[in-house]
Structure formats: structure tokens, C-alpha cells
Amino acid sequence: KSGFLHECKEKYSESLWKKFNFCFGCMPLAAIIENRIFCVHGGLSPELKDLSQLENISRPCEISDKGMLCDLLWSDPEDCSDGWADNHRGLGKTFGENQVEEFLKKHNFDLVVRSHQVTESGYKFFCGHKLVKIFSAPNLAGQFQNDGAILVVDKDLKCYFSVINSNFNQIN
């Protein structure tokens, strides 16, 4: 077993997990940096037609196992995907480079930043440098030897990474 629920139950209590989930439920589903960078936990959604849809979501709210909110939290980019498909994780969608390019062009963004998918180096680019996966937890649940990373965006919108080495000894 792995995952956040399991770790909370093992080390603390299920009630702590419920409190975290309430806090997560109050957070915005996405952030936009200087009208150029779209940040989201999971990924894109075929149901997100206009960014005003995000502003109209009252938080906290229940997240169903289908639809735009679910997709924004749980969708994943797939190298071999040529469209929208059901995600093998059971929640959200998978999407390919075409969907990233269409989304960026439609909304005049330069970059999609998303998380929720462990990467060996803490970050990994997709679709050239048009989408980046960030994973900030090194050594996920003691089961992976992955680095973590933090994306830093400066005032000129230049992006760089602070990497948290899997040995926890230093931040680069």
C-alpha cells in the first residue's frame, strides 16, 4: 500500500487525512502566472472550454470521479496519446502533445505546469518545453529513489528548478 491516505493512517490518523483533504478542497484548482503560465495539480480537461469556468467554481466543493474538476486534479500527459482517453489510474483523462499545443494557443499561454506524477529527477518536460511535470517529494513514501523539485519563476518569467536530492543532504 502507498499513497497519502495510507501514510497518514500509518503514522498519524485517518482524521488528519480528512483535515488535509478539507484544506485541499479550499485551495484553487489552478493558478495563472502573469497570463503566461497555467499551473494545475493534474492536467488538462476536454471540458475546460473557457478559463472563466475556473472562476465560477465555488470552493470547497466535492470532486466527482468524472468531469472537469476531476480532470484538473488527476489527468496525465501521455507520450503516445493522440487525443483524450480514459486514464489507466481510473480517474481523469490522458492527453497528448496536440492537446497541450491547442490549450496553450487558445489561451495564449507559454507553459503548463502540473504535478501529481513522480519523476526521477523531480521534474520532466513534455511536449518540448511546453509542459513540465513537477514532483516535490523526494523518495516518495520510501518506495522510490526520486529527487524532488521546486519550480522558481522570476520576475521576467524565467523558470528554473531547485532540486531536492533524494539523499536529502542538499538543495541545488
Residues 147 and 34: their CA atoms lie apart, in Å, by 28
Residues 137 and 48: their CA atoms lie apart, in Å, by 28
Q: What is the pLDDT of residue 76?
A: 95
Q: What is the pLDDT of residue 170?
A: 47
CB atoms < 10 A from the CB of 65, how many?
A: 9
Residues 116 and 39: their CA atoms lie apart, in Å, by 12
Residues 45 and 62: their CA atoms lie apart, in Å, by 17
Q: What is the pLDDT of residue 70?
A: 94
| pLDDT one digit per residue (tens) for the chain, 172 residues | 557 888 889 899 999 999 998 998 899 999 999 999 999 999 999 999 999 999 999 888 888 899 999 999 999 999 877 899 999 988 999 999 999 999 999 999 999 999 988 889 999 999 999 999 999 888 876 777 889 999 999 999 999 999 998 886 445 5
Q: What is the pLDDT of residue 5?
A: 85
